[in-house]
Every structure is written in structure tokens, then in C-alpha cells.
């Protein structure tokens, strides 16, 4: 399926970018700790960089979790569904994925509006547009949208096959 190939490619790209973000986060925190406690002269920009890189890291990584269904769930419902037929579990998954699709669409729309509204505001120490922070929500929301579409298509195919993979 074409969307699965696109999804797998995007997952690899997101994982690579997330590792890069995490490395930058670690370096920024390390620079802050060394400059503050060894040289007794804190670097002003490293804390702000770490904060905003962490936002990018979390949202990019969460899109991969969504793809694999590792997002938050209620264990009680999951335990109950284990006793049900495969078709009932697929219908449940399909309904949840449709709800997620609408929520992710809201995330994309709302965060894009925030990007536009805050693009002209400059971050204090990094001297970059504040809209870059909210751009992480928009981009990761697009990834989540694609991954959720893939999950919906898989659910429909699974349902049509009677619950078989």
C-alpha cells in the first residue's frame, strides 16, 4: 500500500530528526550546566534552546507513538476488549482513529493560526520567531494525520477481511 510506504519513510525521517533534536537538547543542557557550575557564568541562550528543542522532540516523537497505537489508553477498556471478537476490536479501533483524525485536524488548524499570529514576535535570547515553537505542532500534526489515515485504512481492510490481518 502506498500510504504504508510513505508512512514508513516518514517514520524513519522523524526518528532521525528526533535523535538530532535530543542530541541538541542534551548538548544545550550540558553547556548550561558546565557554564553555570564550572565557569560560574551561565550561558543565556542554552536554557531557551533546550526548552524549545524539547518541544520539537516531544511532538515529533509522539507522532511515532500515535502511529503504533502506543498513546495513552484506558487499561480497563483494553482488558474488556480482549474478550470481544476481532471485529468488535477493529470497530473500536476505527472509531478511535476517526476521533483522533478530527482532533489532529484541530491541532493542525489551531497551531497554524498560532504560527501566523506569533511569527513576528522574537524569542528573547535566540532572536528567532516565536512561531517556530508552534510550527512543531503543525508539522507533527501533519505526520499524525498521515499515520492516523494509515491506521484507518488498515482497520477498514481488516474489517472487510473479517478481522484477519
Q: Are 119 and 131 in contact (CB under 8 A)?
A: yes
| Average pLDDT of span 70-98 | 80
Query: What per-residue confidence (pLDDT) applies to 150?
Result: 94
Record the cell numbers describing residue 44, joined without a space: 543565556
C-alpha angle with apex 162: 156 to 165, nearest 5 degrees? 70
In a domain, 165, yes or no: no
Using CA of residue 20, residue 22, residue 24, residue 26, what is the dihedral sign? negative
Model confidence, pTM: 0.87
Query: What per-residue confidence (pLDDT) applies to 42?
Result: 85
DSSP 115: H
Query: What per-residue confidence (pLDDT) applies to 106?
Result: 97
Domain that holds residue 138: 2-160
Lowest mean pLDDT among 5-14, 59-68, 72-81, 129-138: 72-81
Calpha distance 119→121 (Å, rounded): 6
In a domain, 90, yes or no: yes
Q: Is the per-residue pLDDT at 157 higher than 60?
A: yes
Q: 27, exposed or middle or buried, with CB in 10 Å at 0-12, 13-18, 19+?
A: middle
Query: What per-residue confidence (pLDDT) applies to 85?
Result: 81
Domain count, the chain: 1
Record the cell numbers describing residue 136, joined without a space: 512543531
In a domain, 153, yes or no: yes
Task: For 88-144, write each residue's pLDDT tens digit.
Answer: 888 888 999 999 999 999 999 999 999 999 999 998 888 999 999 999 999 999 999
Lookup result for grid cell 488498515:
154
Nearest to 4 by CA among 160, 146, 162: 146
Task: For 22-57, write each residue's pLDDT tens digit.
Answer: 999 999 999 999 998 988 888 889 989 999 999 999
Calpha distance 123→51 (Å, rounded): 12
Radius of gyration of the CA atoms of the chain, in A: 20
Q: Is the per-residue pLDDT at 1 higher than 80?
A: no
The neighbour count for residue 123, using CB atoms within 10 Å, is: 18
Amino acid at each position: 500500500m502506498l500510504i504504508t510506504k510513505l508512512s514508513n519513510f516518514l517514520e524513519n525521517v522523524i526518528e532521525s530528526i528526533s535523535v538530532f533534536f535530543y542530541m541538541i537538547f542534551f548538548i544545550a543542557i550540558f553547556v548550561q550546566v558546565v557554564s553555570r557550575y564550572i565557569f560560574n557564568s551561565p550561558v543565556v541562550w542554552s536554557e531557551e534552546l533546550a526548552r524549545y528543542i524539547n518541544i520539537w522532540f516531544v511532538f515529533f516523537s509522539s507522532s511515532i507513538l500515535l502511529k503504533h497505537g502506543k498513546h495513552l489508553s484506558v487499561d480497563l477498556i483494553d482488558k474488556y476488549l480482549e474478550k470481544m471478537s476481532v471485529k468488535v476490536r477493529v470497530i473500536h479501533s476505527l472509531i478511535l482513529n476517526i476521533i483522533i483524525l478530527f482532533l489532529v485536524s484541530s491541532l493542525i488548524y489551531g497551531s497554524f493560526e498560532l504560527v501566523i499570529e506569533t511569527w513576528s514576535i522574537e524569542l528573547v535570547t535566540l532572536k528567532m520567531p516565536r512561531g517556530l515553537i508552534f510550527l512543531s505542532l503543525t508539522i507533527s500534526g501533519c505526520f499524525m494525520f498521515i499515520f492516523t489515515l494509515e491506521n484507518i485504512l488498515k482497520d477498514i481492510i481488516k474489517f472487510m477481511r473479517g478481522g484477519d490481518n
